[in-house]
Amino acid sequence: MYINRRKLLNEKMAHIKNGYSAYAESPDVIYAIKKEIQALNLDVLEEVTDMGSWFIPVKVES
């Protein structure tokens, strides 16, 4: 089965930008998400597990 990594990255980044958590298993996708988060200067907590990483947006309370 072929998985389009760019499409997967875009979907996960859309979740994060909308304030939802995203999970990734592939080291390639994890690296790409980290790079995108850094480029956009987003405040995101990364929870690393044995199976992959969770990316959890940090909500700023007003």
* Per-residue pLDDT reduced to its tens digit, 4-56: 889 999 999 999 999 999 999 999 999 999 999 999 999 999 999 999 999 99
| pTM greater than 0.95 | no
- Provide the residue range defining the domain that includes 30: 5-57
Reported in sequence order, the residue ranges of 1-62 that DSSP labels E, i.e. its strands, are 22-24, 44-48, 53-57
Residue tagged 């987003």 (tokens): 42
Number of domains in the chain: 1
- What percentage of the chain exceeds 90 in pLDDT? 84
Residue 59 to residues 18, 20, 42, 55, Cα–Cα distance (Å): 11, 10, 11, 13
Q: Does residue 22 lie within any of the structural domains?
A: yes
Q: Does residue 62 lie within any of the structural domains?
A: no
> What distance in Å separates the CA atoms of residue 55 and residue 42, rounded to the nearest whole number?
11
* Per-residue pLDDT reduced to its tens digit, 39-50: 999 999 999 999
